[in-house]
Amino acid sequence: MCGIVGYLGKKSAVEVLVEGLERLEYRGYDSAGIAALEGSAIEIVKSKGKIADLKAKLNGNLSGSTIGIGHTRWATHGRPSDANAHPHRDCTGKIAVVHNGIIENYQELKEFLLEEGHIFLSETDTEVISHLIEHYYKDNDLFTAVQYATSRLEGSYALVVLCTDCPDRLIAARKDSPLIVGLGDEEYFFASDIPAILKHTRRINILDDGEIALITSSKVEVYNSTGKKVAKKEMYVEWDAEAAEKGGYDHFMIKEIHEQPQALQKTLSGRIHSEKGIVDLKEVSLDAEKLRNINNVAIVACGTAYHAGLIGKYAIEKLVRIPVEADIASEFRYRNPLIDDRSLVIVISQSGETADTLAALREAKKRGAHVIAVTNVVGSTVSREADDVLYTWAGPEIAVASTKAYTTQLVAMYLLALDLGTKLGTLSQEKAAEIVKALAEIPNNAAKVLEQAEKVKSWAKEASVWKDAFFIGRGLDWAVAMEGQLKLKEISYMHAEAYAAGELKHGTLALIEERIPVIALATQEELYDKMVSNIEEVNARGANVTGVTFEGNKELEKAVNQVIYIPETLPLLAPILSVIPLQLLSYYAAVERGCDVDKPRNLAKSVTVE
């Protein structure tokens, strides 16, 4: 994810900024840049690649400046390049801006600014901010210009502005993207993350949504969205540098599990209109006419992404009424798949670089299929080679075990099913509106599931001595069971299997004996009674069953040893919520067993070899 640092004080700004950006490197980025005020001009140096590349370009220059802003960019709008790297400037060269977040209405703003004669140098959404500030900038009043400009922005932002006319101040604003003020001794900082400034100060103010802050070398002032000055509480950071990188969590995996509400919100942002009950996927170029030409859909991916594909299969078949195969990429590519120019192939890949998924994509393209990529990494190889790209906007995932990437992939699959079903008319407007409304509530519901982390933690203590575990479910619950067992295997090194509950009696039931742990997912209304019968089958053999179901379903308590509840939503969307306790279970069990949670043995984050 992008990182921000701003500095104003007596030290060399460039040194402070570069060092701060280095502290944010662990978050992942593809380019970096700084802007510093040197004399009466803003000098901007930026580079695609690593901070070492930026340093090489700086070559020791600008070391006399004491005010500046810096940024590490993780591409969203516009591929990784020197031009798209931040900071971005206005036409006059007086104003420079760094920004984290996504400006959803940037196209509309850009058109307005182009008509006003502004010239853009990048493909980013951020560049509209510097031009918008320029548009409102009058009488050396940068603060009012930032107020007006931010009032026109839709989406999320944390931004810091540097202006040649105000060499004694930096101005920052935030909405739905973190930003802090570092309070030093005759020096002040802005940063998106604590590690960036930890070397210089542990005293901070946390900015809230809608606030605009101004720092000079002697003070900080913060104003709320109505322009009223607010008194901020000073906080003291106790964390060491390593804990700060993980936002105070012990591991990246648990940090990423807890980031899911925000990540899900970002995936949905700008793509659904819950009042109108419609989905708006500009990214998909297939119109109704082209879609009518499609005979079949193949969803191809590996590992966790494949499990997201299984949910996608259910959703698309249900809402679009078209045959869908979900396939493991390493199988798909070698089995002469029945794919041609009347096929739609959807590849799912967090990294966008997985060798098997990429080969499957190329195979599909060779056969003339239309390919949609669902990926988290802008500019990744699958995003460049696919016909259409649906980004998941989960932010960088650092832990090897995928969590927030998976749940955001699920959202992407639901959005796609809604888009295709609406275009083809297989989905009524009322049904689409009902799903859209439920999707809009998913981020809040995910936050509610996370409130049960402590309960799952004590369950995980018990789980840490398991030799085997069985995850069972029917329909969509079976697909979630597959993901649950993979998580447990990969980070806690425990043997686990997932079964379609109705299939147990055809063999696996022989393995169920006294006290064997079974995790039974029971969220699918239409299959509920059948699922309870399957739970009774394992109960009869003495299994220790934990059920996962919707709040209010007290009935299940009669059939199982304990129940984990998730907030009510449509059964179709339940996987996004029911997987969260399973992620927490594997995490806490792995910690209890002393496993290397973020880097499990034998595994790599991105598998770029066959």
Q: Is 366 a catalytic residue?
A: no
Stretch touching ligand F6R by CB under 6 A, among 153-161, 290-298, 299-307, 511-519: 299-307
Count the residues of the shown chain that bind ligand F6R, applying the rule CB under 6 A.
14
Site string for ligand F6R, 321-360 (x = CB under 6 A): ----------------------------xxx--x--x---
Angle at the Cα of 503 (from 500 to 504), degrees rounded to 5? 100
Q: How far apart, in whole angstroms, are the C-alpha atoms of residue 333 and residue 166? A: 59
Nearer CB in complex with ligand F6R: 202/362 = 362
Catalytic residue among 2, 163, 166, 302: 2
> Of these, 305, 389, 559, 577, which contacts ligand F6R (CB under 6 A)?
305
Pick from 268, 278, 252, 299: nearest CA to 391: 268
Nearer to ligand F6R (CB atom), residue 225 or residue 606: 606
**Shorter beta-carbon distance to ligand F6R: residue 256 or 419:** 256
Residue 413 near ligand F6R by CB under 6 A: no
Q: Contact 56/41 with Cβ under 8 angstroms?
A: no
The answer to whether 191 touches 23, Cβ cutoff 8 Å, is no
Rounded distance between C-alpha atoms, residue 313 and residue 346, angstroms: 10
Q: Please list the residues that pair with 473 across neighbouring strands.
A: 500
Q: How far is CA 432 from CA 33, 573, 574, in A?
A: 43, 13, 16
- Do 478 and 470 contact (CB within 8 A), yes or no? no
Q: How far is the CB of 318 from ligand F6R (least distance, A)?
A: 24
CA distance 50 to 452: 39
195 versus 303: smaller Cβ distance to ligand F6R: 303
When CB distances to ligand F6R are compared, the closest residue is 303
Report, in Å, the least distance between residue 239 CB and ligand F6R.
27
- Cβ-based nearer residue to ligand F6R, 243 or 355: 355
Q: Give 146-202 as a 3 state SS string.
A: HHHHHHCCCECEEEEEEECCCCCCEEEEEECCCCEEEECCCCEEEECCHHHCCCCCC
- Do residues 18 and 34 make contact, with C-beta atoms less than 8 angstroms apart? yes
Residue 316 near residue 297, CB atoms below 8 Å: yes
Verify whether residue 437 is a known catalytic residue. no
Instruction: Give the contacts of 245 (CB within 8 A, at least 6 positions apart).
Output: 23, 26, 27, 195
Cα angle: 248, vertex 249, 251; to 5 degrees = 135
Choice between 98 and 253, CB closer to ligand F6R: 253
Binds ligand F6R by CB under 6 A, chosen from 303, 337, 421, 581: 303
Shorter beta-carbon distance to ligand F6R: residue 211 or 490: 490
Using CA atoms, how far residue 302 sits from 308, 342, 364, 416, 574, in Å, is: 10, 24, 16, 19, 22
* Residue of 401, 480, 482, 535 that binds ligand F6R (CB under 6 A): 401
User: Among 170, 302, 344, 364, which residue interacts with ligand F6R (rule: CB under 6 A)?
Assistant: 302
Q: Let me know if 250 is exposed, middle or buried by CB neighbors in 10 A (0-12, 13-18, 19+).
A: middle
Measured from the CB atom, is 388 or 490 closer to ligand F6R? 490
Q: Binding of ligand F6R at residue 606 (CB under 6 A)?
A: yes
Alpha-carbon dihedral of residues 576, 579, 584, 589, nearest 10 degrees?
-170
Amino acid occupying residue 49: G
Of the residues 55, 57, 431, 605, only one is catalytic, namely 605
By CB under 6 A, the residues from 483 to 502 that bind ligand F6R are 490
Interface residue with ligand F6R among 156, 381, 402, 445 (CB under 6 A) is: 402
Least distance from C-beta 524 to ligand F6R, angstroms? 24
Determine the Cα angle at 235 with ends 451 and 218, to 5°. Answer: 145
582 binds ligand F6R (CB under 6 A): no
Q: Minimum distance from CB of 594 to ligand F6R (Å)? A: 20
To ligand F6R, the closest distance from the beta carbon of 606 in angstroms equals 5
CB of 405 to ligand F6R, least distance (A): 6
326 φ/ψ angles, rounded to the nearest 5 degrees: -105, 130
Q: Which is nearer to ligand F6R, 268 or 579 (CB)?
A: 579
Least Å distance, CB 483 to ligand F6R, is 8
In this structure, are strands 495-500 and 468-473 parallel, antiparallel, or unpaired? parallel
Buried-state track 203-229, b at ≥16 Cβ within 10 A, e below 16: ebbebeeebbbbbeeeebbbbeeeeee
Question: CB of 414: closest distance to ligand F6R in angstroms?
Answer: 18
Give me the least distance between CB of 193 and ligand F6R, in Å please.
24
Catalytic residue set: 2, 605
Residues in contact with ligand F6R by the rule CB under 6 A:
302-305, 349-351, 354, 357, 401-402, 490, 606-607
